[in-house]
Copies of this chain bind each other. A is one copy, B any other.
């Protein structure tokens, strides 16, 4: 046995006990002829003392350097009162070494193995095993482990079966690009890595599995944005004989269970539900962070005759809305306003009208154009948001542009000026999403907001032909702290309706057959009403761990370009491997486009 205790567990009650410890040398200090080292493992740190009396042992210990891996046999003793370290869990004791075994030596690491480092992320990713050795990173994976355990514990208690879905599947490109895997036995044919287990989990419902879940890896060959990964993990859930409320109820309780188990946070249930329209109007986004104590106010109905022509014109074909940001007017310089204006333009607005509320009322910016009558009505609209030191940001345009600009400003400024209560969590369900969204590239001008298997709201089915964009979906998103952490829907379980939706999307019967034939075939043999939800597990863990990037909660993440800096994937492979697969590299062709 190479150790009897871990480094973090020794306390005053162990005084006098002989122990065998093992770990990494974290610090060493030579003090008054005695060598003190701090030995660390995942469980904590402990001080080990080498006394000069045993010269051979002392001399060996003297050769130790940071990150060497050693084993120590010794006796736990109480520290003298003046040497007690209250910041260290083991700070009341130390271990006086009697034997030392050096398991392996370490070169000088490329960055200090400590919580606070200044290394660039690329260096951290290349030496990821050292990056992960830092306690602050180990904590993220403890959170991840606990979140997965809590998920399984809860769903198991609710009669769900975890069933693994295949990872070598048929390519059914939809939305994102598939990663392809050439088949050797069937040269010229390919498997795909699944973008999600969507079709397979629906088939489990056809198979009568009733309640399925899986922590499933998903693969999407997308052009990576800052916080996306080509492979990521979903808590994937599907249930039979349910309606929207049943899935939302389950997801609420699951989320509350995870948060309580992992970080001890009590989420108040039921969670608020907000329609997509309301979320867009009040927060300019379908994933509002309701911890931000200010929101967008629509003033379209009062701008007629306000004195500012831009508003009056915009109100005719669009909306006029204001974001009143409290307590920062004195901190926002002219230069800052210019930056915000430029940003608003990048986001599609023509400009950014602003004003302030001071002790004297409306002031500066466009307020000089306003009639007294408008000011009075506006003041009424603002209600208790009419407060000195508030800055007013206006959007006057089509609703989607106004939402994008004011919604974006809201989260950006809340973050920048720290106007957000981070000791709380904001959780809510957004519902009543549109079934389709406009898409100029598609044949019929529409594309699914969610996916083509989503059930329309029953009352809206008659609208499918005449006004598809007005049809609401039985779809729902769970928003936590301004992140969409889960999304789901009730699925279509009738082949006729599924065919109709495919047709509306411009997917011909032939194409549907080619892509989803096996699902349509399955639907001929008795399909229960079903629906589900899928959590972005990486993002959920990121929030629970209090991190800003999902790369901090994935062991070996890829860069934005899709590379693993640690193992060097993707890499060149032997010609023989390609020959066996019956494929050839053909890069010229790629450059054609």
Contact = CB atoms under 8 A, between A and B. Distances in A.
Interface string A110-154: 000000000000000001111111000010011011001100100
Contacts of A41: 208, 210, 240
A42 B373 CA distance: 68
Contact of A494 (B104, B177, B199, B593): B104
Interface stretch (A11-19, A302-310, A561-569): A561-569
A567 B529 CA distance: 22
A326 to B, nearest CB: 43
Nearest to A132: B207
A204 B555 contact: yes
A166 B556 contact: yes
A525 interface: yes
A138 B106 CA distance: 52
A241 interface: yes
Contacts of A578: 180, 586
A363 interface: no
A209 B138 contact: yes
Interface in A344-399: none
Contacts of A42: 208-210
Interface stretch (A190-198, A403-411, A414-422): A190-198
B69 A528 contact: yes
Which of A178, A182, A203 has the most chain B CB within a 10 Å cutoff?
A182
Contacts of A440: none
A98 B582 CA distance: 62
A107 B524 CA distance: 6
A241 B178 contact: no
A183 B581 CA distance: 15
A215 B566 CA distance: 23
A583 interface: yes
Interface stretch (A157-165, A330-338, A463-471): A157-165
Query: Number of contact residues on A: which range applies?
Result: 35 or more
Contacts of A148: 162
B109 A525 contact: yes
A142 B207 CA distance: 13
Contacts of A88: none
B180 A581 contact: yes
A207 to B, nearest CB: 4
A210 B494 CA distance: 51
A67 to B, nearest CB: 4
A219 interface: yes
A188 B217 CA distance: 25
Given A129-B204, A582-B587, 5 more contacts: A128-B207, A164-B555, A167-B231, A177-B580, A180-B182
13 contacts: A40-B208, A42-B209, A130-B525, A138-B207, A144-B163, A149-B156, A170-B571, A171-B571, A180-B573, A181-B193, A186-B562, A217-B217, A518-B567
